[in-house]
Chain A
Amino acid sequence: MSQSQPSRLGSLLLLLAAVIGFAVALYAWLTPLTGVTGTIGALGVAIASAVLALLTFILRGASRRGARTSLIVIIFLMLFAIGFAAALLHQYIITAAMVVGLIGLITLSRNSVRHNHRIRA
């Protein structure tokens, strides 16, 4: 499926959020004196961010409407969960990144709706 400009931007923002989430959470998990060094919470956010990136790629490739909608809902929940968990880890950069990811998801899903309308027409 060919990607429109907004769709590509949305995907990029989502990927950027996932990369930042993964990198910051991994750093917090590995580095002494972050307050969450070696904790399940920090590792969990790193893994969840990696999963977010994977889902973004899957969403980019998904063409069926039902699958895309499901993926969008799952990604939305993940963004919220990662952002909330990161705030409880005091890793506010990740929370901010998830807000960026949310913008990306909105861009992507709006474009997706318009794209689908055009297909139906």
Chain B
Amino acid sequence: MKVSITALALLFIPVTQAQKQDNAAEASMGTQEKLNVDSANQQAPGTTETTEDASTGKRDGQKVESASHAASSLVPSSASWDSFHGQLNAQKYSPLKQITADNVSKLKKIWEFHTGDVSDGKGDTPATVWSATPIFANQTLYIGTPFDRLIALDPGTGKEKWHYDTKSSRKALTQPVLKNRGVSYWQARQPAPGQACQKIVYMGTVDGKLFALDADSGKPCSDFADNGMLDLNQWNTVNAKYPLSVLQPPTVVGNHLLVGWAGKDWAYAEAPPGTVFSINAQTGEREWTFEAIPAAIRKRTGTANVWTHMSADEAHGLVYLPVSSPSPNYWGGNRVDPIPLGTSTTALDINTGKVVWSRQWVHHDVWDYDINSAPTLMDITVNGKKIPALIQATKQGFLFVVNRLTGEDVWPIEERPVPQGDGSVQGEVLSPTQPFPTKPAPLLDQSKKPEIWKLADIVGAGQCSRLWDKLTYEGMYTPPTTKGEGTLTYPDSAGGVQWGGVAYDPQKQIAVVNTSHIVQYVKLYSREDYEKADNGSGNESGFAPQEGAPYGLRLMVANNWLGMPCWQPPFGEIVALDMHTGDVKWRRPVGASQQYGFFMPESWGSPTIGGPAVTAGGVIFIGASMDAKVRAYSVDNGEELWSDQVEAPAVANPSIYEYKGRQYVAFVAGGNTILKDQVGDQVVVYALPE
């Protein structure tokens, strides 16, 4: 049993003095012990609800019905890339060896395809953000677009096989942009010849609908929900005035579609609770639901949702949820009650939705440090012992490594005291401690206030120094304040590591992850002051109301007047870790930053969105950087081996597949306005010359 420092401290604090801390401390406890009770069918109140079938135990004891795959080894022998992260274990690993570190420099563009679904946001249509990894299944490459169209392409030529238009709203309903993260694939264990919808492609839309199409013809599957369309907003019954978007493709585990959703960050104190739905892959019927927020407080808070992809260990019947933070993001006075599943990695029984274990990575989150990427599952050998592990990268730049079957630490994770703020924010009850991994070391140095970049300070005539002086900072978990220019936050809300997550070479036991080093500052404004303030906002910056909370907020990137970062480069790195030891094998700046078209030196690196993929050929493929280049690095030493210019930053993880004996690497170059205002609609595929 784990006993946190917080719990020990509470034993010595008089109840009358510690009532408020008590709430936060309860929230802060990872509740390993409590949640293991759930797995013994004693559901903790307010943590998990399941639909009738599951909660009555009718499905208990069933193993995952593996439809599309047999329960797969963590070292894949076949080269499928039929889900968002390549495989359900989220390793983003291909066993293909045709392209190697020695010949990757010969890689050529074989084909490209332009979807036409792109907007720079200057007209009536919001800007597009395209993060869809193409998936390879059924001898076809499938892709979703930000206009919520689904396209099937010939993997060898890029010729369109079919497309389907969901005719969804092209309005920024929950996001400031039109966004798509792609599609999912399912097939029956033994597809009946000539029968439709034995193979299905799924895609969600900005207006909360989930479409199921026959993978061969692109026609809707009539047996699925309402003629191939399932409206998730029909189940959005708590705080229902706020709509859901389904931007992330469902995670397909056996015959289950696991569907999370996205909402509108920073806008409201109340929001729909972060329900995850398990849906029958063929019928669209709801099987069970998971709720991260206790029932008693669902009306006054919300989210703690799963907006990114999940991973699964089919052999053990577990699905892993990266759970985001509750609403509102930068003030927690409405949610001082325990929300132990918020900002966590939570493992569920795939058949019942019951919590098997959960680890909370940020207690009482007031920094919007959502868990934003699928945990990567891996078998690692530490001190000669084989461990079924899981690595969870976080926005803070931490890598938490735990046993994926039990949630227990692989390397110790310590609860350490954190700043308690300046008392300027009413109703806030902060957690006295936060979890810190002892190994691997943090991917970026958040142990001290980021150093000012002298060049930016000089160009800004001391602007950066003046800003630094006006910012509150007592360490990484310094809470938001109403004073000065606010609180310096590092890493930023987009994350030290983003939803691209960690790639893993299971043969070499090397994990690869890219980071962004961005400093932001956040200030809370009383409702009265907020109304008077300039309320302009952009994507991931500017003002946000947090309606229903006593404070609105302003969130800014710490740049000088010329747009130069006030903190020292590098602004992004790629890091390889030896998972036998948890030590860094190598690290290097990744990509190049670009401003007004000018490429900065590559030693300065670039912020990145999108993650890497690794191959048995010893190559890492990654786009992600501001300079809109796609690159290949050596797994062994990080040497850059190849690059090519694409239409916009390739902010999706690449996919790697084999078709007719040839190895291909596919990127989408869609851009993301968080990086810069360069958008694209290009699918680009590379291979070695024949």
Q: How far is the CA of A23 from the CA of B678 in the complex (A)?
A: 23
**Interface: B404 (CB within 8 A):** no
Which residue in B599, B628, B646, B647 is a CB contact (below 8 Å) of A88?
Answer: B599
A24 to chain B, nearest CB (A): 14
- Whether A40 contacts B596 by the Cβ 8 Å rule is yes
- Whether A36 contacts B646 by the Cβ 8 Å rule is no
Chain A minimum-CB-distance residue to B669:
A33
Q: How far is the CA of A88 from the CA of B594 in the complex (A)?
A: 9
Determine the chain B residues whose CB is within 8 A of the CB of A88 once the complex forms.
Answer: 598-600
Chain A 72-99 near chain B by CB (<8 Å), digits 1 or 0: 0000000000000100111000000000
- Whether A89 contacts B597 by the Cβ 8 Å rule is yes
Which residue in A32, A33, A44, A89 is a CB contact (below 8 Å) of B599?
Answer: A89
**Interface: A4 (CB within 8 A):** no
Determine the chain A residues whose CB is within 8 A of the CB of B627 once the complex forms.
Answer: 35
- Whether A35 contacts B628 by the Cβ 8 Å rule is yes
Q: How far is the CA of A38 from the CA of B676 in the complex (A)?
A: 13
Q: How far is the CA of A38 from the CA of B678 in the complex (A)?
A: 9
Which has the most chain A C-beta neighbours within 10 Å: B596, B629, B678? B596
Q: How far is the CA of A107 from the CA of B586 in the complex (A)?
A: 51
- Whether B598 contacts A33 by the Cβ 8 Å rule is no
Q: How far is the CA of A67 from the CA of B568 in the complex (A)?
A: 43
Determine the chain B residues whose CB is within 8 A of the CB of A3 once the complex forms.
Answer: none
- Whether B597 contacts A39 by the Cβ 8 Å rule is yes
- Whether A85 contacts B598 by the Cβ 8 Å rule is yes
B567 to chain A, nearest CB (A): 21
A residues 1-54 near B (Cβ < 8 Å) are: 32-36, 38-42, 44
User: How many contacts A-B (CB < 8 Å)?
Assistant: 29
- Whether A32 contacts B628 by the Cβ 8 Å rule is no
Determine the chain B residues whose CB is within 8 A of the CB of A36 once the complex forms.
Answer: 597
Q: How far is the CA of A44 from the CA of B598 in the complex (A)?
A: 11
Determine the chain A residues whose CB is within 8 A of the CB of B598 once the complex forms.
Answer: 41, 85, 88-89
- Whether A33 contacts B597 by the Cβ 8 Å rule is no
Q: Tally B residues with Cβ within 8 Å of A.
A: 12
B residues 596-647 near A (Cβ < 8 Å) are: 596-600, 627-629, 645-647
- Whether B647 contacts A33 by the Cβ 8 Å rule is yes
- Whether A34 contacts B599 by the Cβ 8 Å rule is no
- Whether A35 contacts B629 by the Cβ 8 Å rule is yes
- Whether A35 contacts B596 by the Cβ 8 Å rule is no
- Whether B599 contacts A35 by the Cβ 8 Å rule is yes
B290 to chain A, nearest CB (A): 44
B554 to chain A, nearest CB (A): 27
Q: How far is the CA of A40 from the CA of B678 in the complex (A)?
A: 12
A16 to chain B, nearest CB (A): 24
Q: How far is the CA of A41 from the CA of B598 in the complex (A)?
A: 6
Determine the chain A residues whose CB is within 8 A of the CB of B647 once the complex forms.
Answer: 32-33
Which has the most chain A C-beta neighbours within 10 Å: B598, B599, B647? B598
Determine the chain B residues whose CB is within 8 A of the CB of A34 once the complex forms.
Answer: 645
- Whether B596 contacts A41 by the Cβ 8 Å rule is yes
Q: How far is the CA of A32 from the CA of B596 in the complex (A)?
A: 16
- Whether A42 contacts B645 by the Cβ 8 Å rule is no
Chain A minimum-CB-distance residue to B595:
A41
Decide: A90 near B599, CB < 8 A? Known: A33-B646, A35-B645: yes
A25 to chain B, nearest CB (A): 10
Q: How far is the CA of A32 from the CA of B628 in the complex (A)?
A: 12
Q: How far is the CA of A88 from the CA of B592 in the complex (A)?
A: 11
Determine the chain A residues whose CB is within 8 A of the CB of B678 once the complex forms.
Answer: 38
Determine the chain B residues whose CB is within 8 A of the CB of A40 once the complex forms.
Answer: 596-597
A63 to chain B, nearest CB (A): 38
Which has the most chain A C-beta neighbours within 10 Å: B645, B646, B678? B645
Q: How far is the CA of A89 from the CA of B599 in the complex (A)?
A: 6
- Whether B597 contacts A42 by the Cβ 8 Å rule is yes
Chain B 578-600 near chain A by CB (<8 Å), digits 1 or 0: 00000000000000000011111
- Whether B645 contacts A33 by the Cβ 8 Å rule is yes
Chain B minimum-CB-distance residue to A84:
B598
Q: How far is the CA of A36 from the CA of B647 in the complex (A)?
A: 10
B residues 317-373 near A (Cβ < 8 Å) are: none
B115 to chain A, nearest CB (A): 15
Q: How far is the CA of A85 from the CA of B597 in the complex (A)?
A: 10
A95 to chain B, nearest CB (A): 13
Since A38-B678, A40-B597, A90-B599 are in contact, a sample of 16 more A-B pairs with Cβ atoms closer than 8 Å, ordered by chain A residue number, is A32-B647, A33-B646, A34-B645, A35-B599, A35-B628, A35-B629, A36-B597, A39-B597, A40-B596, A41-B598, A42-B597, A44-B596, A88-B598, A88-B599, A89-B597, A89-B598
11 CB-based A-B contacts, threshold 8 Å: A33-B646, A33-B647, A35-B627, A39-B597, A40-B596, A40-B597, A41-B596, A41-B598, A44-B596, A88-B600, A89-B598
Top 8 nearest A-B pairs (CB, nearest first) are: A39-B597, A41-B597, A88-B598, A36-B597, A40-B596, A41-B596, A41-B598, A35-B645
